[in-house]
Chains A and B, each alone.
Chain A
Amino acid sequence: MYFDLDDEQRDLAAAARDFLSSSASPAAARAALEADSAEIRPGRVELVKSGFATITVPEQAGGGGGSVLDLAVVAEQAGRVLAGPSLVTFARAAVLLDGHDDRLAALADGSLAVAVVDGGPVLDAVGADTFLAMRGDDLVIGSGSVGTREPIDPTRGLGDVELGDVEVLETGAAERWARAERVARTVLAAEGLGAAARALEIGVDYTKERHAFGRPIGSYQAVKHALVDVYVEVEQLRSLVWWAAWAADHAPDELRIASAAAKAAAATTLERAAETLIQVHGGIGFTWEHDAHLYWRRAKVDRLLLGDDVAAYDEVARLALEDAR
Chain B
Amino acid sequence: MDFDDTPDEAAWRAKVRSFIEEHRDQLGSRADQRGFDDTVSRQRQALMYDAGYVGVTWPVEAGGRGGTPMQQSIIDQEMARAGVPGLINLIGIGMCGPTVIYHGSDDQKERYLKRLLRADDIWCQLFSEPASGSDLAALRTKAVRDDEGNWRISGQKVWTTLAHLADYGILLTRTDPDVAKHRGLTMFVVDMKAPGVTVRPLRQMSGGSDFNEVFFDDVVIPDSERLGDVGDGWRTALTTLMSERMTLGGGGTSIGVSVERVAEHVAERIGELSEARQALARQDFGRAYVASLGIRYTGYRLLTAVSQGQLPGPEASAGKLAGTKAARDLADLAVRLLGDDAVYAGTGDGGVSWQDLQAVLPGMAIAGGTDEVLHNIIGERVLGLPPEPRADKDKTFRELAAAGA
B318 cross-chain contacts in A, Cβ below 8 A: 231-232, 235-236
Instruction: Evaluate contact between A250 and B2: CB separation under 8 angstroms.
Output: yes
Q: Check B203 for interface membership: any CB of A closer than 8 A.
A: no
B380 cross-chain contacts in A, Cβ below 8 A: 224
B23-37 CB mask vs A (1 if < 8 Å, else 0) is 000000000000000
Q: Which residue of A lies closest to B322 (CB)?
A: A232
Report if A4-B385 is in contact (Cβ < 8 Å); known contacts: A240-B293, A321-B285, A323-B263: no
B17-51 CB mask vs A (1 if < 8 Å, else 0) is 00000000000000000000000000000000000
Instruction: Evaluate contact between A236 and B294: CB separation under 8 angstroms.
Output: yes
Q: Check A296 for interface membership: any CB of B closer than 8 A.
A: no
Q: Check A310 for interface membership: any CB of B closer than 8 A.
A: yes
Q: Which residue of A lies closest to B383 (CB)?
A: A204
Give Cα A325–Cα B260 distance, bound, in whole angstroms.
11
Q: Check A313 for interface membership: any CB of B closer than 8 A.
A: yes
Partner of B379, one of A2, A228, A238, A316: A228
Instruction: Evaluate contact between A316 and B385: CB separation under 8 angstroms.
Output: no
A100 cross-chain contacts in B, Cβ below 8 A: none
Q: Check A95 for interface membership: any CB of B closer than 8 A.
A: no
B267 cross-chain contacts in A, Cβ below 8 A: 321, 324-325
Instruction: Evaluate contact between A232 and B384: CB separation under 8 angstroms.
Output: no
Q: Check B224 for interface membership: any CB of A closer than 8 A.
A: no
Instruction: Evaluate contact between B375 and A224: CB separation under 8 angstroms.
Output: yes
Give Cα A36–Cα B113 distance, bound, in whole angstroms.
72
Q: Check A137 for interface membership: any CB of B closer than 8 A.
A: no
A227 cross-chain contacts in B, Cβ below 8 A: 379, 383, 385
Q: Check B59 for interface membership: any CB of A closer than 8 A.
A: no
B259-272 CB mask vs A (1 if < 8 Å, else 0) is 01001101100100
B294 cross-chain contacts in A, Cβ below 8 A: 236-237, 239-240, 261, 265
B315 cross-chain contacts in A, Cβ below 8 A: 235
Instruction: Evaluate contact between A1 and B303: CB separation under 8 angstroms.
Output: yes
Instruction: Evaluate contact between A2 and B375: CB separation under 8 angstroms.
Output: no
B263 cross-chain contacts in A, Cβ below 8 A: 320-321, 323-324
A236 cross-chain contacts in B, Cβ below 8 A: 291, 294-295, 297-298, 318, 322
Instruction: Evaluate contact between B2 and A224: CB separation under 8 angstroms.
Output: no
Among A18-26, A57-65, A211-219, A297-305, which stretch is in contact with chain B?
A: A211-219
Q: Check B304 for interface membership: any CB of A closer than 8 A.
A: yes
Q: Check A288 for interface membership: any CB of B closer than 8 A.
A: no
Report if A215-B1 is in contact (Cβ < 8 Å); known contacts: A320-B285, A324-B267: no
B388 cross-chain contacts in A, Cβ below 8 A: 219-221
B260 cross-chain contacts in A, Cβ below 8 A: 324
Partner of B290, one of A3, A207, A240: A240
User: Which secondary structure dominates where chain A touches chain B?
Assistant: helix
Report if A219-B1 is in contact (Cβ < 8 Å); known contacts: A4-B304, A236-B295, A261-B290: no
Give Cα A2–Cα B304 distance, bound, in whole angstroms.
6
Q: Which residue of B lies closest to A234 (CB)?
A: B318
Instruction: Evaluate contact between B383 and A1: CB separation under 8 angstroms.
Output: no
A321 cross-chain contacts in B, Cβ below 8 A: 263, 266-267, 270, 282, 285
Q: Check B194 for interface membership: any CB of A closer than 8 A.
A: no
A264 cross-chain contacts in B, Cβ below 8 A: 286-287, 290
Q: Which residue of B lies closest to A325 (CB)?
A: B267
Give Cα A3–Cα B304 distance, bound, in whole angstroms.
6
B270 cross-chain contacts in A, Cβ below 8 A: 321
- Size category of the binding interface on chain A: 35 or more
Q: Check B70 for interface membership: any CB of A closer than 8 A.
A: yes
B287 cross-chain contacts in A, Cβ below 8 A: 264, 268, 313
Q: Which residue of A lies closest to B282 (CB)?
A: A317
Taking the nearest CB of chain B, how far is it from the CB of A114, in angstroms?
Answer: 29
Instruction: Evaluate contact between A204 and B1: CB separation under 8 angstroms.
Output: no
Within B198-214, the residues touching A (CB, 8 Å) are none
Q: Which residue of A lies closest to B326 (CB)?
A: A236
Give Cα A69–Cα B3 distance, bound, in whole angstroms.
14
Give Cα A265–Cα B264 distance, bound, in whole angstroms.
23
Instruction: Evaluate contact between A3 and B300: CB separation under 8 angstroms.
Output: yes
Instruction: Evaluate contact between B385 and A239: CB separation under 8 angstroms.
Output: no
Taking the nearest CB of chain A, how far is it from the CB of B149, in angstroms?
Answer: 45
Give Cα A310–Cα B283 distance, bound, in whole angstroms.
7
Within A231-277, the residues touching B (CB, 8 Å) are 231-232, 235-240, 242-243, 246, 250, 258, 261, 264-265, 268
Instruction: Evaluate contact between A232 and B289: CB separation under 8 angstroms.
Output: no
A69 cross-chain contacts in B, Cβ below 8 A: 1
Instruction: Evaluate contact between B372 and A225: CB separation under 8 angstroms.
Output: yes
Q: Which residue of A lies closest to B262 (CB)?
A: A324
Residue from the set B290, B322, B382 with the largest chain A CB neighbour count within 10 Å: B290
Within B237-289, the residues touching A (CB, 8 Å) are 260, 263-264, 266-267, 270, 279, 282-283, 285-287, 289
Instruction: Evaluate contact between B283 and A218: CB separation under 8 angstroms.
Output: no
A265 cross-chain contacts in B, Cβ below 8 A: 290, 294
B361 cross-chain contacts in A, Cβ below 8 A: none
A4 cross-chain contacts in B, Cβ below 8 A: 1, 301, 304-305, 308
Taking the nearest CB of chain B, how far is it from the CB of A285, in angstroms?
Answer: 17
Instruction: Evaluate contact between B383 and A228: CB separation under 8 angstroms.
Output: yes
A320 cross-chain contacts in B, Cβ below 8 A: 263, 285-286, 289
Taking the nearest CB of chain A, how far is it from the CB of B176, in angstroms?
Answer: 30
Extra inter-chain contacts (13) besides given A2-B2, A4-B301, A323-B263, CB under 8 Å: A1-B304, A204-B384, A220-B388, A221-B388, A227-B379, A227-B385, A228-B379, A243-B293, A243-B297, A315-B286, A316-B293, A320-B263, A324-B263
6 tightest A-B contacts by CB? Answer: A236-B294, A313-B286, A317-B286, A239-B297, A324-B263, A224-B379
- Interchain residue pairs with CB less than 8 A apart (22): A4-B305, A69-B1, A204-B384, A219-B386, A221-B388, A225-B372, A227-B385, A236-B294, A238-B301, A240-B297, A242-B1, A246-B3, A264-B287, A265-B294, A314-B279, A314-B286, A317-B286, A320-B286, A321-B263, A321-B270, A324-B260, A325-B267
